[in-house]
Structure formats: structure tokens, C-alpha cells
Structure 1
């Protein structure tokens, strides 16, 4: 049974007092007797303190506690208990870490741990296979220096990890990777890299099939449209009962031709990550042309179409692709806005980048449809799409054009209150027309 520390101190005090009295009676020097007894007691305490220091510095945590008496015995036992608890906690934690590392080692996906600055801390074997990381020489190195790809560098430095990044493996160009990054702890990064080569191959097969079918259909459709146009040019020689069927056939042939054009355009957009042309585009002039076409499309419906464009603000990219994306947004606003409605197009820049906004007072879209609007052939209302003659590919084209120009599409809409489509482009895509700015 361990002694009570207060009782031990009391006993030591009484023994010290008794020794002082005895030594004082023998020598008659009471002050020296007290000082000598205190010095002896202090030397005993210092000896045990030095023993404790040597034990803490040199002893193995699994060694037995040195023998001690009095207060030191309780102190040794307490320290030993704390050491044992800490050792058991470390062993449990190490067991969890070992199991986690064993499980991630068995994964086919690469798991890479980065510090808050993006330096490599740990990775599983799949990280070496998919990314070419080498241990230990790559440990502590910035990940953007080892995964040398401009899209990865831009993705990592932008710090927007809501969507994964797809690119080819730096080790094997035949491997297609998908990279997910999550922030945790003190802004550390957890990067998961997945091999999606098989999915990419299936997607490429689908793209090739669509492109080939579109090409094959174009020739017979052109022949059919040509004969229909010739027959309708001589409509006065046709029997009245054949006139309406011929007109409907021509309308459907025209609609199918537009569909094939959009499918082929999508195939071209998906073929590469960057536009073939990357020159400054005069967006203000481009929007003026699109506004003129939109007024013609509105016709007798009398839409009020306004344009507000920042002068001298250019955008790096492909003129034809941007024209296709922007015209899709404006023409959709015309199609889905009732007669007499308002459509406002705005092009401006701020510290975040350049932005194009198309706002209408149309019928609006329910919130449940917004996440899927850029999917191919997705219809909010099939009957409404048939009335407008759309192909269902317009917003898919917009999405792919923006991706190729490092942009993103934001959609805000409420039924009965109109819709707002906003294209956001980063600062790297923005260009200033110095000549126009000087003239202004």
C-alpha cells in the first residue's frame, strides 16, 4: 500500500527535527546542527533527483521502475504509469496507421498526402506506378515540380477542387488519370488519383461512333434535302395534297441537318483540350453581330434586346468557338422568352476575370433541372423543345467551349422570373486592347 504524501512529509519533518535536537544536545551548537541536518536531507533529495533524471534520459520505457523510498517511490510509480499509458496509446495509434497504410497500399488508386504548401509527405505504391513518384528522393518536393503538366499546375494553384481533373499519366501517355484533391487538417492536401483508361476508351468509342454516324448521315440527308428543295421550287406543279407533306419533310430535314452540325461540332470540341486558335478575340464586336442576328430571329415577337460591353476587353481563344457558345446563349434567350420580353447581354471584367451575362425575362427553369441542363439532349420540356426547334445540344456545346477556354458556366433561374446564364473566364484569358484604351 502506497504511503500518503502528506504523512510522508510529516514523518520526514519529524525525523529531521529529532535529528537536529539530538545533534544539538550532543554538540550544543543548535544552528550548526539544524544546518547540517538540512544539508544532509537536501543531499539525499538531490541524489534521488539525479537518479530520476538518469532514469528518464537513459532507461527503456519497458524497464522496471528503480527502487525508491518515500515521496520518490510514489513519484517513480506515477511517472511509470504515465509512460505506460502513453506507450499503449502510441502503440494503438501506430496500429491504426499501419492498418491504414496497408489498406491504401492494396488500393489500385494512388493516394498522395501533401502538406499545406503542396510538398509530398507520403504516397502508396500506386502513386509510383501512376505518377512516377520515387522514394525517398521525391519526399518533400513540390508536387507541381514532379507532375509536370500545365493543366495540373493551373488546377492546383487555383485551389478550386470541386471538380476532378482529367489528364494523361506523366509516366505512360496511354494511361488516362482522374485527380481528386481534398483539403483536411491544417490545409493539408489529400490527392487521390484514379486510372480511368478503360472509361476513357469507352467514351472515345462513343465519340467516334457519333462522329462517324453523323458523317455517314450527312450525304443521304443532303441528297434528300436537295430533291425536296427542287420539288418545292416547282410547288405550283404539285398536287395540293402533296404540298404540306413536302414542306414538313423539308422542315424535319433542316432540323436533322442542324442536329448533325451540332454533333460534329461537339466531336471537334472534344477531340482536343485547347482551341486550335488562341488569339485575342474582340468580344464587343462579336456580341454586336450576335445581337443583330438575335433581333432578326425575334422578328415580329418584338423582344427588347440590349447590349452592354466593356470597350477594349478582349478574350484569348477561338473566334468561331466563342461565337458558337455566345450565340447559343443569346438565341436560347430569344426562343424561351415570350413576345415583348427583355433580354440583356453584358460583357465586363473585374479582379476575378472576364464575364459574359445573358439575362432574360422568359419562362424560367425549375431548380431540379439546373444541374443537368448542359447534358446532351437533356429536355426540360420535350414539347417546348419541339416548338422551338432546338437540338438539345446547345448548352452542351457552350459547356465544352468554356472548358476549352478555362471558363465555367453559372446558371440562375426561377420559373416565371426568367433566367441568367453567366460565363466566367479567369484572368489568364483576359486581354486588354491597348490601342482602343489609348483612343478612349
Structure 2
């Protein structure tokens, strides 16, 4: 909208011009009288401008602008209205901020605001309880100076906040905290900290329960299997009506033994977050042995199992855990691939590390199941898994074995088109042939 400045200009100039002409009428000199009137008018404007400058220089939020008349009165009134409107907006914003701070202060989870450099800007009371932050002396301090755990420093340095981080509280080692960082604005970071001690305790109780029950069940199963074996070895002396029940009892006892073995292995894998001992492992010979076992498992189904493995690619890790993980993938491919199907196993390396892929032409898996396949006891089809003798723990064992080796499992599958399971290991997990020779 175009502003019409001509009207205000004329209204402001008419009074000094009229006063100068009137004074010239009495003095008989219109020129000097007009010049004097305009000079006085300019001096008045300069005085009002100085008043405005002084008010702006010494501005206080509640101090109104100076009083004025005419054009300057309108300017001062406009400034006053803007000031009042700004105060109302700031009041509403402050009320919102106060409500947000009150609500976050009531949270049991810690909420911490960091700037783009990771320095503390604001936090709630829970952050003082869980992390020991102090108000106001810690304001502006780098968060890594106050939370000194090595894992947290690495977490902040890598700037990858996709996954949450768990670590003990700086105030109490018995408290377990879960930290999650989200970026917002111009690189600022919002950190949420939860006390997950109770969850960790429940998880540990579950692990202890599974491990203890598995150990306790091994003895009675061993006794049962021990009595069944000589009975079936002397089947001719057993009443024919008891042969089939005894055979079924032996099959179920063997299935339970496999389940307990998998539970105990999974419990051992979950007991530690990393490898206790690491040795160079020649993966190619290990895969060759697994392929022989897979061919025996295939039996009359006549699967075509192909292996392509780089012989000089050596991995640092635990051979027993790697063997368990790789064999689970290969044996699953055999179990869920129809007779005459093809299974391709490939072991190779590139600049991203080492990789193992197991691809089959089996029945495939629907996409809705893929994210849950590595959960213990999760089965896509419980009836089919029971018929193939699966325990539902194989991929959970694979997942935890890969975690021990800093690896990850990638799954791609489509119903009717088979599945592809790929294990990825970082370059830091690779070893040299010379290290393998020294280890042997």
C-alpha cells in the first residue's frame, strides 16, 4: 500500500510558513521572517529527534516514549502502540514458555537442550537428579565435560543419533540411563534421558530365569534320553505296541535338547555385549564344513548348494559363535527351500568390510514379518516351524553373534521368490593371513 506523504508534509509546513509571513507583515521583511520561522521549525524537529534518540538509547521495557504534538506526537503514539503490542506478544510467549518449562520440570525423564556445539542451554530438574547438572553454573558448559563416560563421548563425536545409548548414571553406577538425541532448528540438539534400571533388572531376571531353567532341564532330559536309547536299540525285545511311542518320545526329547542348547547359547551371547576373546578365523574352510553338513541335512531333497568364498579373507572373532551364526542361516535356507531348490553362499570383501550372503529359492517371507524375524521364538508359521524342527531362536542367535563381532544382519525376502540374508562386518573386524598363521 502506497503511503501519501504529501498531506502530512503540507500540514506540517503550513504553520511555520504562515507564522513567518505574519511576522514579516509586522516587521516589513518577509524573507528574513520566513527564514527565521523555518529555522525555528527545523530546530523544533531536531529537538524532537534528539528526544527520540535519547529514549531509544536508554530504552527500558516498561518506559513509554516521550510526549509530543503534531507529527511527532503521532510518531510517539505509534511507537507506544507498537511497544504495547510487543509487550502483549512477549507476555503470551513467556506464558507459553513458562507452561512448557513447568510441564517438562514435572517429567521424571530428563530433558536437556544443547546448542550446535553441544553446550548446555537449558535442562529440567530430572537432569539434575539423573546426570548431576547444576543450575546455573553448568550453563554453557559442554555436555561431554559433565558426562565423562567414554561411550557417551564416542556417541557425541560420531553424530549418529539413530539409536539410543545406554550407560550408567554419573551419580550412581547402579542406575542405568537411556539417552536419545534429536536434532532441531539450526543444528541444536534435544537430549532425552530415561531411567531404565527397572527394565534392565527385569531383562536380567528373564535371562537368569531362562538360563537356570535350561540348566535344570538338561539333567532330566539326559536321563530320559539315556533310558530311551537302550530300549530302542533292543527294539526286538520291546512290545510292538510301544515302539512308536518310544520313537516319538526320543524325537521329542532330542527336539527339547536342541531347544535347550539354543537357549543356553543365546544366554551366553546375551551375557556380554562384546567378545571376551578374539582370534583370526579362516571363514572359507568354516563355510566348506557348513556346506557339507547342509548337504547331509538336505538328504533326498537334492538341494543345489553353491559356495563362493574368498580364501584369503580372514575375520577377527570367535569361531564357535561365527560357526553357529553362519550354520543357522544356511540350515534355515535348506529347511525352507523346496526339494530341488538352489542355495547360494557367498563370502567376499570390499572397501566397506566383509560380507556373507545366503540366498535361497525358497518360499520367501512377507515384508510384515521381516522386522521381527530376529526376535526369540518368533515364527512366521508356527505349524511349519514345528514340522521342520525349528526352535525359533536361530536368527536371534545370529543377531547377537553379529553384535559381538560389530556386524549387522540385513534381510530381504519376497513370498514365492526366496530370501537373501546378508551379514555385514566393518573393515576393523578383518584380520590378515599372517595373523592367522601366528594364531595357529
CA–CA distance in structure 1, aligned partners of residues 199 and 359 of structure 2:
37
Residue-by-residue CA offset, 1:286-305 (whole Å, 9 max, x unaligned): 33332333233223322222
Query: Which residue of structure 1 lines up, in the alignment, with residue 438 of structure 2?
Result: none
Shift in Å, 1:229 = 1.9
Query: Which residue of structure 2 lines up, in the alignment, with residue 219 of structure 1?
Result: 219
Query: Which residue of structure 1 lines up, in the alignment, with residue 385 of structure 2?
Result: 385
Question: In structure 2, the residue corresponding to 1:294 is in which secondary structure?
Answer: helix
- Kindly report which structure 2 residues correspond to 1:19-38, keeping only aligned pairs within 5 A, or say none: 19=19, 21=21, 26=27, 30=31, 36-38=36-38
Query: Which residue of structure 2 lines up, in the alignment, with residue 89 of structure 1?
Result: 89
Query: Which residue of structure 2 lines up, in the alignment, with residue 433 of structure 1?
Result: 432
Shift in Å, 1:215 = 0.7
Query: Which residue of structure 1 lines up, in the alignment, with residue 69 of structure 2?
Result: 69
CA–CA distance in structure 2, aligned partners of residues 332 and 151 of structure 1:
36
Residues 161 and 180, structure 2, Cα contact 8 Å, conserved in 1: yes
Residue-by-residue CA offset, 1:99-136 (whole Å, 9 max, x unaligned): 21122112111111222333322222221222233344
Question: In structure 2, the residue corresponding to 1:372 is in which secondary structure?
Answer: coil
Residue-by-residue CA offset, 1:351-403 (whole Å, 9 max, x unaligned): 55443322211101122222222222122112211221111111111222233
Shift in Å, 1:157 = 4.2
Unaligned runs of 5+ in 1: none
CA–CA distance in structure 2, aligned partners of residues 388 and 219 of structure 1:
25
CA–CA distance in structure 1, aligned partners of residues 279 and 148 of structure 2:
25
TM-score by length of 1: 0.88
Question: In structure 1, the residue corresponding to 2:232 is in which secondary structure?
Answer: helix
**C-alpha spacing 1:64/1:248, structure 2 compared with 1 (3 Å):** same
Question: In structure 1, the residue corresponding to 2:213 is in which secondary structure?
Answer: helix
Shift in Å, 1:68 = 0.8
CA–CA distance in structure 2, aligned partners of residues 257 and 209 of structure 1:
17
Shift in Å, 1:255 = 0.9
Shift in Å, 1:407 = 3.0
CA–CA distance in structure 2, aligned partners of residues 90 and 120 of structure 1:
24
Residue-by-residue CA offset, 1:195-224 (whole Å, 9 max, x unaligned): 122222222222111111111111111121
CA–CA distance in structure 2, aligned partners of residues 58 and 95 of structure 1:
27
Query: Which residue of structure 2 lines up, in the alignment, with residue 100 of structure 1?
Result: 100
Query: Which residue of structure 2 lines up, in the alignment, with residue 367 of structure 1?
Result: 367
Q: Are residue 278 (structure 1) and residue 272 (structure 2) matched?
A: no
Shift in Å, 1:260 = 0.5
Question: In structure 2, the residue corresponding to 1:274 is in which secondary structure?
Answer: coil
**C-alpha spacing 1:321/1:204, structure 2 compared with 1 (3 Å):** same
Query: Which residue of structure 2 lines up, in the alignment, with residue 117 of structure 1?
Result: 117
Residue-by-residue CA offset, 1:231-252 (whole Å, 9 max, x unaligned): 2233343333333322222221
- Kindly report which structure 2 residues correspond to 1:235-314, keeping only aligned pairs within 5 A, or say none: 235-310=235-310, 312-314=312-314
Residues 313 and 430, structure 1, Cα contact 8 Å, conserved in 2: no
Query: Which residue of structure 2 lines up, in the alignment, with residue 324 of structure 1?
Result: 324
Question: In structure 2, the residue corresponding to 1:89 is in which secondary structure?
Answer: helix
CA–CA distance in structure 1, aligned partners of residues 88 and 151 of structure 2:
46
CA–CA distance in structure 2, aligned partners of residues 117 and 63 of structure 1:
37
Shift in Å, 1:432 = 4.8
Question: In structure 2, the residue corresponding to 1:416 is in which secondary structure?
Answer: coil
The worse-fitting range, judged by mean Cα deviation, of 296-305 and 262-271 is 296-305
Shift in Å, 1:21 = 4.7
**C-alpha spacing 1:112/1:310, structure 2 compared with 1 (3 Å):** farther
The worse-fitting range, judged by mean Cα deviation, of 214-223 and 284-293 is 284-293
**C-alpha spacing 1:407/1:35, structure 2 compared with 1 (3 Å):** farther
Residues 358 and 422, structure 1, Cα contact 8 Å, conserved in 2: yes
The worse-fitting range, judged by mean Cα deviation, of 36-45 and 184-193 is 36-45
Shift in Å, 1:263 = 0.8
Aligned length in residues:
432
**C-alpha spacing 1:152/1:401, structure 2 compared with 1 (3 Å):** farther
Unaligned runs of 5+ in 2: 436-440
Residues 312 and 432, structure 1, Cα contact 8 Å, conserved in 2: no
